[in-house]
Amino acid sequence: MADYITVNDTKHPLPDDPRVSLLDFLRQEVGLTGTKKGCDHGQCGACTVIVNGMRINSCLALAVMHDGDTVTTIEGIGTPGAPSALQKAFVEHDGYQCGYCTPGQICAATAMLDEIAHGMPSDASDTLEGEIQISDEEIRERMSGNLCRCGAYANILAAIRDVAKEKAV
């Protein structure tokens, strides 16, 4: 059993208290506060991070259960000086109002583009096989685990659509 979690390429020791969620671990022990606590019950998606390539709700995970895992948070996706394509698109399209859900939206969308590239179907897909046809319906379904209480959905969708279509070309 490894006694650390790798967060954005840096190893951090596991917490002593098994009750510490991966979310609280990231924010309070690692000091990366980009990942947000919204509902703390897996309903809003603000705490979304990428663990071993898969997006999860970090509020519904115990840090001690992730020993040896590799976590990417919003801080590992891009920086103000070198933002990722999605981060740039969110700025260009004004894909937020208060910005609280944005790190979760971008982490979720980053993983979502990989899922599409790997041909993973969604509930909105017409067939379970073959290449995914990117549509607004597909993006909405795949992003349904990320709520935006400001209701910036139209611009979030536009930002993701831009990057998804660029990737698909």
Decide if residue 123 touches other proteins (CB under 8 A).
yes
CA distance linking residue 140 with residue 124, whole number of Å: 9
Rg value, the chain, Cα? 16
* Distance separating alpha carbons of residues 122 and 153, to the nearest angstrom: 19
d(CA 72, CA 34): 11
Site for other proteins in 12-41 (CB under 8 A): 18-19, 21, 40-41
Q: Which of 120, 150, 154, 168 binds other proteins (CB under 8 A)?
A: 120
Per CB under 8 A, the segment of 71-79, 92-100, 114-122, 155-163 that binds other proteins is: 114-122
Pairing of strands 70-72, 4-7: parallel
Among 142, 156, 158, 160, binds other proteins (CB under 8 A): 142
> How many chain residues are in contact with other proteins, going by CB under 8 A?
33
For the record, the structure tokens of 32 come out as 């990366």
Question: Interface with other proteins by CB under 8 A: which residues?
Answer: 1, 18-19, 21, 40-42, 45, 48, 54-57, 60-62, 64-65, 108, 111-112, 115, 120-123, 128-129, 140-142, 144-145
